[in-house]
Chain A
């Protein structure tokens, strides 16, 4: 590969350079705060709870009982909550070995996870091969696979030892993966995972913050489009089976957890993105904060059985409309806010052809 490069920046827009440099130290502090207050704790929690899930599964499969299964399910839901707090970030160690996509194989429109797990359940001993997980499909690796084994009627981990054997293998791999991600984050800095432009004269932290914001904006779209609008048929045909973690009825809690992460992210670090935005444009920062909080409140106000209850498509659409609009406003406002702070969140990369 071609690096390092011999660089020579012949020209740079004065306005852009001033914007980048005047906040240089502040961005380092903000990024360090996000790593310390959001990223590292989230992965630590996920790793810790994945170990507990693995232990609960081991106890279940040793002598299966209904109470033990309930404990496993509860631990699984805790894992989902942990994951939702960091799902916005497809950056750093989670990008290695397709980990991000393996954490959750969704939407699984063709039922691939179920089919592949059924195959594994016929020969679960293949999972003990030391090379199995190097080539295993991402559909059988993470939380979607665990959910399928626990909630899909084609599997019964109490009565079928082979199903429990597969559950043991998947949960062990999930625990090992999350532990490795948390360890890699603890041993690295955000800047280690940034590919700066070859000619760049900005800091890795500035590049990291730009990437964080870009992924945050994309995640807002994912919540609105994939998690909310698509399954309920906001703009077309409804298919509730496209909702995230619908078998375990975690579709709405997942959205609430995602949205609740945003204010934390906005206020992480000293100075935080919120504080930096406030210095630049106080009312704009306050409005951003208000929109994030508003979305959380609107999501919490939806009925618990929003995805599973016997509502018509039209009723669901009307119930969701204020939240959809609030998320959309949040996204627009976030773009506006970070643009005014000098970030370029992508033009061709977000809307190419």
Chain B
């Protein structure tokens, strides 16, 4: 592992904004994701035409990348139950440092940097009690400066509503590393969406499903410029139950607004949403379902279902640099660009030996 001095030299000392532009040079865009190949696990950065710029091996399978807002740093969070978070210099792919959870905790595969980049916020499981936790660590020292309840069990993905408020998808699943990923509370699980002030730990709002949908785990989410949060759920109940899988929430609303879709499409979701992603404009939201093998789109202004793109094993989603457009990655190694309103999808590249993992992030210049 690099020393703190080496780390500072490699990452932090790279100057002030606009760092990304300096670091990536003339390239317009860069994407980062974890991937697996031949049973080994990696993190990678690739450019707009799908060329892999760097890759680095990870100790175990990672889930989602987290990008620092001003430094050339991307973190890759181990998937649940995760015990590492590796940070990489995105200019070179060089390893910078590893952060591990405190005793009796594990990561959930997602994390956030505060808007000023001074703090790393992680969702964690205190596995002896099953309590969901939000940890705030100073960056890059990793010193824990605060620890809060997430407001539920199984905090999975979280996003910023504004600089002081995070929205947490408390999936409701209690697990313990001794039982791998087995769900220990299927009959009592109670997922919720929690709006939390990460600077004070105050819970500002909590939204739940009706009791009959208590097995509808809230796992992934995104938020647009208007404060509209879209959640994608994974149903832990029976395969045949007709449950709503996608919903909109606002901090001032106590109920979810479930989004309609044609029943044949809902059935094809196979009760599973992978990633949730707004486009650049915040007007169009995409939800991937690797089990269903497609991405579905809604226009958020009138909650209108738009349609789907079929793609086997698709999961990673990112806005591209154009409104109405997304970059998609799949477990079959594909990187695609879709222009939703133009009804056009383009295979950027396919790496036969690469299985892109669940989440994709665009490095914004």
Contacts and interface: CB of A to CB of B under 8 A. Distances in A.
A195 B340 CA distance: 18
Chain B interface extent, by class: 35 or more
Nearest to A102: B240
A197 B272 contact: no
Interface of A: 1-3, 5-13, 15-16, 95, 98, 101-102, 138, 195-199, 207, 210, 344, 346-349, 352-353
B347 A11 contact: yes
Nearest to B240: A101
Nearest to B63: A353
B344 to A, nearest CB: 5
B267 interface: yes
A49 to B, nearest CB: 24
Contacts of B309: 2, 5, 198
B355 interface: yes
B113 interface: no
Interface in B265-314: 267-268, 272, 274, 290-291, 293-294, 297, 306-314
B99 interface: no
A352 B274 contact: yes
B28 to A, nearest CB: 16
Looking at chain A's contact residues, is the secondary structure mostly helix, strand, loop, or mixed? loop
Contacts of B330: 348
Contacts of A210: 312
Looking at chain B's contact residues, is the secondary structure mostly helix, strand, loop, or mixed? strand
Contacts of A10: 346-349
B109 interface: yes
B65 interface: no
B350 A11 contact: yes
Interface of B: 36, 50, 63, 79-80, 109, 156, 181, 219, 238-240, 267-268, 272, 274, 290-291, 293-294, 297, 306-315, 330-334, 336, 338, 340, 343-353, 355-358
Nearest to B295: A198
Given A2-B307, A95-B267, A199-B345, A347 B355 contact: yes
A352 B239 CA distance: 16
Contacts of B344: 5-6
Contacts of A16: 333, 350, 352
A348 B290 contact: yes
